């Protein structure tokens, strides 16, 4: 499967290593190898390429039949650098592929895990027509063992398969439109850690987005169905945000116990150089409860409210849809694509049961296979939420995850709702 874009604009190639992890995990389950075997002598000849424990890299076929982005076929090669302690230090994954709409393409994804306290990535790809992407990100001070934590990210991408169904919680599928989204973004944050659990952070994000006429055959372009929606053409915004976080999770990447609570607020203003103006605030909670040695119950609850949104472009509104929770951005509904429902305000929740059902050794590290039945629920609205539990969109499904502690989770999640069955893949838990 071709990896899903996070919001059809962020670095989509995160799923490259997920494919390797899950393909290898399937082989491990078939072998029923719950414990690591003693290190064996290298497999001679071509056999070493077929054994995850000895192959220098594993070629993975890309097959994506997504109803929105069309058919994509290709090959991914995944290389893992592993420390003497068995921890993954780097993932390098180049790929070559052919897309139904935009021709041939090539890309590379590199993920670095120099320590538990820091992570970085560089992801890029280019196609013959329309689409390209580049995403570079660094995070430091993740364990909050020092007074400061910080992050920086730069994005330059163009997506030709973005969709817009109108604003509101009950927009029908036949209102679908498409557009080309050309985006550049630079974001940074710095946080002061009062304790290892409590942090106050300031963040700034500049983003310029051009919403251009759609190029997909058979799907109306956004300006033909929604000529008056805010955000057509070129707009830019400088968002300022303050966030207070209390985090007692035992791991920021693969949590098994604890909780994370946060509240945030921010704005974009003409006086600070934005072409649009709006404000927002929200809150989020995530809980993780171990149910024995091999099962974790995970749940989340979030809300976002925009006190002033008359000028807000549609791409800055609260959003429901897709496969992951992005604070102050989007909440998951794994029966629909990213940004399926947008409006000023949002409330969303969900839960999943993460069950460790096996494991295997590969690239001198230990990979565990998880099954995770899940449920998502949420809605968007423009005024008061009314009955919180009314008019909620829901999705249910099953996740299959390959977990290489302490940093990497590769997933394939299959969700169902409103008659839709959708497959997502990528790196990191959805929340």
Q: 83-92, 247-256, 287-296, 389-398: which has the minimum mean pLDDT?
A: 83-92
The predicted pLDDT at position 58 comes to: 64
Q: Please give the Cα distance from 339 to 181 (Å, whole number).
A: 13
Q: Please give the Cα distance from 426 to 372 (Å, whole number).
A: 15
The predicted pLDDT at position 367 comes to: 77
Tokens encoding 180: 């080309």
Q: 44-48, 72-76, 365-369, 400-404: which has the minimum mean pLDDT?
A: 44-48
Q: What is the per-residue pLDDT across 140-186, written as a single tens digit (0 to 9) for each?
A: 998 899 999 999 999 999 999 999 999 999 999 999 999 999 999 99
What domains lie within the chain, and their CATH numbers? Answer: 6-427 (2.40.160.50)
The DSSP secondary structure of 96-151, one letter per residue, reads EEEETTTEEEEEEEEEEEEETTEEEEEEEEEESSS-EEEEEEEEE-TT--SSEEEE
Our CA angle for 419, 421, 426, nearest 5°, is 150
The predicted pLDDT at position 415 comes to: 92
3-state secondary structure labels for all residues of 164-224: ECCECCCCCHHHCEEEEEEEEEEEEEEEEECCCCEEEEEEEEEEEEEEEECCCCCCCEHHH
Question: Tokens 């609205």 sit at which residue?
Answer: 381
Closest residue by Cα to residue 280 from 247, 246, 242, 235: 242
Residue 238, CB-side half-sphere exposure with 13 Å CA sphere: 6
Average pLDDT over residues 99-128: 93
Cα 9 from chain centroid? Answer: 11
Our CA angle for 410, 207, 220, nearest 5°, is 80
Closest residue by Cα to residue 15 from 298, 416, 400: 400
Which pLDDT band, with edges at 50, 70 and 90, does 35 fall under? very low
Q: What is the per-residue pLDDT across 217-275, written as a single tens digit (0 to 9) for each?
A: 999 999 999 999 999 999 999 999 999 999 999 988 899 999 999 999 999 999 999 99
Average pLDDT over residues 356-366: 72
Q: What is the per-residue pLDDT across 317-346, written as a single tens digit (0 to 9) for each?
A: 999 998 889 999 899 999 998 899 999 999
Q: What is the per-residue pLDDT across 276-295, written as a single tens digit (0 to 9) for each?
A: 999 999 999 999 999 998 99
Q: Please give the Cα distance from 301 to 282 (Å, whole number).
A: 11
State the distance between the two ends of the chain, measured CA to CA, in whole angstroms. Answer: 22
330-331, strands of its sheet edge to edge = 330-331, 318-320, 341-343
φ, ψ for residue 32 (rounded to 5)?
50, 60
């Amino acid at each position: 499967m071709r990896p899903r874009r996070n919001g059809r604009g962020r670095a989509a190639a995160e799923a490259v290593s997920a494919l390797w992890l899950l393909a290898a995990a399937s082989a491990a389950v078939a072998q029923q190898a719950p414990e690591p075997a003693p290190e064996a002598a290298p497999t001679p000849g071509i056999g070493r390429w077929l054994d995850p424990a000895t192959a220098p890299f594993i070629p993975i076929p890309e097959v994506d039949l997504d109803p929105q982005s069309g058919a994509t076929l290709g090959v991914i090669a995944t290389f893992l650098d592993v420390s003497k302690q068995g921890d993954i230090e780097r993932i390098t994954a180049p790929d070559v592929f052919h897309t139904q709409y935009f021709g041939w393409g090539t890309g590379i994804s590199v993920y670095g895990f120099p320590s538990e306290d820091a992570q970085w990535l560089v992801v890029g790809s280019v196609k013959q027509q329309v689409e390209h992407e580049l995403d570079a990100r660094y995070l430091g001070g993740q364990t909050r063992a020092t007074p400061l934590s910080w992050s920086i990210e730069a994005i330059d991408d163009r997506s030709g398969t973005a969709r817009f169904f109108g604003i509101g919680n009950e927009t029908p599928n036949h209102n679908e439109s498409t557009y080309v989204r050309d985006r550049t973004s630079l974001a940074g944050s710095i946080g002061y850690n009062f304790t290892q659990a409590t942090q106050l952070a300031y963040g700034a994000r500049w983003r310029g987005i051009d919403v251009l006429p759609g190029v997909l055959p058979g799907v109306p372009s956004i300006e033909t169905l929604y000529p008056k929606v805010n955000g057509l053409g070129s707009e830019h915004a400088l968002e300022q945000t303050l966030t207070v976080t209390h985090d007692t999770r035992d791991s920021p990447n693969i949590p098994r116990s604890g909780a994370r609570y946060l509240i945030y607020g921010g704005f974009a203003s003409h006086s600070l150089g934005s072409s649009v103006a709006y404000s927002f605030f929200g809150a989020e909670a995530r809980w993780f409860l171990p149910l024995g040695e091999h099962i974790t119950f995970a749940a989340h609850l979030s809300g976002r409210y925009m006190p002033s949104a008359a000028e807000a472009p549609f791409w800055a509104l609260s959003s429901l849809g897709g496969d992951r929770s992005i604070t102050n951005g989007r909440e998951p509904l794994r029966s629909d694509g990213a940004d399926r429902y947008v409006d000023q305000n949002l409330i969303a929740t969900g839960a999943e049961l993460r069950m460790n059902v096996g494991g295997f050794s590969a690239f001198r590290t230990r990979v565990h296979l998880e099954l995770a039945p899940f449920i998502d629920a949420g809605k968007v609205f423009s005024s008061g939420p009314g009955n919180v539990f009314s008019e909620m969109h829901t999705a249910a499904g099953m996740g299959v995850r390959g977990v290489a502690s302490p940093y990497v989770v590769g997933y394939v999640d299959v969700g169902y709702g409103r008659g839709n069955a959708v497959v997502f893949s990528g790196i990191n838990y959805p929340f």
